[in-house]
Amino acid sequence: MRFTLEIDPLDLDQTLGCGQTFRWRRLPDGSWTGVLSDQLMTVRRNGRELHAEAFPGGAGARDLLAEHLRVGDDIGRIQRRLASDPVLRRGMGGLRGLRIVKLDEWECTVSFVLATYANIPRISKMIESLAAAYGKRIAPGIHAFPTVGRLRRASPGDLRRLGLGYRADYIHGVCAALGEDDLGRMKGMGFEELRAGLMALPGIGDKVADCASLFGFGRLEAFPIDVWMERALERLYRQKGSHARLRRFASERFGAYAGYAQEYLYYNERVLASDGACALSDK
DNA sequence: GCCCAGGAGTGTG
DNA sequence: CACACTCATGGG
């Protein structure tokens, strides 16, 4: 099933390849393919339009992609709000196509538990292994992300054999701790309550809770801090200290769109700074 | 071989 | 609050 989505601005390479989401793959022609819920999606940008193909397709496929790419986000408005910060003001124009992604709450939570102390290629591999072993089959070699109920059947030993390492015990513990609709009820919580609820789960500290809040629950005020963000905050803002202190700094400075600020800073630091091609600078 | 990775948990000053 | 240490492993 083919369809078209109007969305602008959008840079697929920046949005899908920068570590917010782990199941998209870039094809040599510049299109991207990945699994959303129970759909295999392939997308290609053409100006303001995104041409998509979904398999098996169906009524919900279009909404699924639209929600995933947050078509409702007004990037111009968000950047005008963030322009009160001089560091972002100068360089973020080049990152207008870098959109925050909206993932399924459960998939996102598990993905970022797996992301602890692993690099992005390995995170992708662990997720694909989980899907292949426990996810519903969509097409040959393509599987949906496993539901809580299916993943609950995996023992810690099973999960270790999939290459998860010590994360196997965390995933097992999260499955055991969650009732069927616990995450569903958390959608209605305020940010701090949601964050505390997530951090009550095994393997979820403040970084993972903020990633799940931002990319899974769609809370744009969340500001995940990892080693790249520590580097960016020190290099561009001369800010050091505990994560609690850095989060307060970010909250006061970036407000309701801290998540977008974080993504710009993260992308700039991880992808561009190593090439000396920074979009953002403190000068 | 070496270094590091979108950290968390626990224990100690 | 800060720091130290362990956890297990593969990708570049």
Q: How far is CA A92 from the centre of its chain?
A: 19
Q: Which CATH code of 3.10.20.30, 3.30.300.180, 1.10.3720.10, 1.10.340.30 fits the domain covering A105-203? A: 1.10.340.30
What is the average per-residue pLDDT within A16-45?
Answer: 97
pLDDT score of A278: 84
Footprint of strand B on the protein (CB under 7 A): A 18-20, 112, 115-120, 122-123, 166, 199, 201-209, 211, 224-229, 262-263, 266, 270
Residue A109 has pLDDT above 90, yes or no: yes
Rounded CA separation A75/A243 (Å): 27
Straight-line distance from CA A125 to C1' C10, in Å? Answer: 10
CB atoms within 10 A of CB A9: 14
Bases of chain C within 7 A of a CB of the protein: 1-2, 7-12
At A140, is the pLDDT very low, low, confident or very high (cuts 50, 70, 90)?
Answer: very high
Straight-line distance from CA A283 to C1' C6, in Å? Answer: 41
- Using CB atoms within 10 Å of the CB of residue A172, give its burial: 0 to 12 exposed, 13 to 18 middle, 19+ buried: buried
Rounded CA separation A44/A28 (Å): 12
Class of domain A2-72: alpha beta
What is the average per-residue pLDDT within A164-169?
Answer: 97
Bases of chain B within 7 A of a CB of the protein: 4-9
pLDDT score of A275: 75
Closest nucleotide to A165: CA versus each C1': C8
Tokens of A257: 């769109």
Instruction: Report the percent of chain A where pLDDT is more than 70.
Output: 100
Instruction: Report the percent of chain A where pLDDT is more than 90.
Output: 92
What is the average per-residue pLDDT within A187-201?
Answer: 97
Straight-line distance from CA A59 to C1' C12, in Å? Answer: 42
What is the average per-residue pLDDT within A28-50?
Answer: 97
What is the average per-residue pLDDT within A129-149?
Answer: 97
Closest nucleotide to A115: CA versus each C1': B6
Tokens of A27: 């094809």
Amino acid present at A145: F
Calculate the average pLDDT of chain A. 96
Closest nucleotide to A163: CA versus each C1': C9
pLDDT tens, residue by residue, A208-240: 999 999 999 999 999 999 999 999 999 999 999
At A263, is the pLDDT very low, low, confident or very high (cuts 50, 70, 90)?
Answer: very high
Residue A272 has pLDDT above 80, yes or no: no
Q: Enumerate the domain spans of chain A.
A: 2-72, 105-203
Straight-line distance from CA A128 to C1' B2, in Å? Answer: 27
pLDDT score of A179: 85
Footprint of strand C on the protein (CB under 7 A): A 117-119, 121-122, 125, 160, 163, 165-166, 241-242, 244-245
Straight-line distance from CA A25 to C1' B2, in Å? Answer: 29
pLDDT tens, residue by residue, A71-106: 999 999 999 999 999 999 988 999 999 999 999 999
At A271, is the pLDDT very low, low, confident or very high (cuts 50, 70, 90)?
Answer: confident
Q: How many Cα atoms within 13 Å fall on the side-chain side of residue A203?
A: 24
pLDDT tens, residue by residue, A184-193: 999 999 999 9
Closest nucleotide to A101: CA versus each C1': B6
pLDDT score of A82: 98
Rounded CA separation A18/A8 (Å): 18
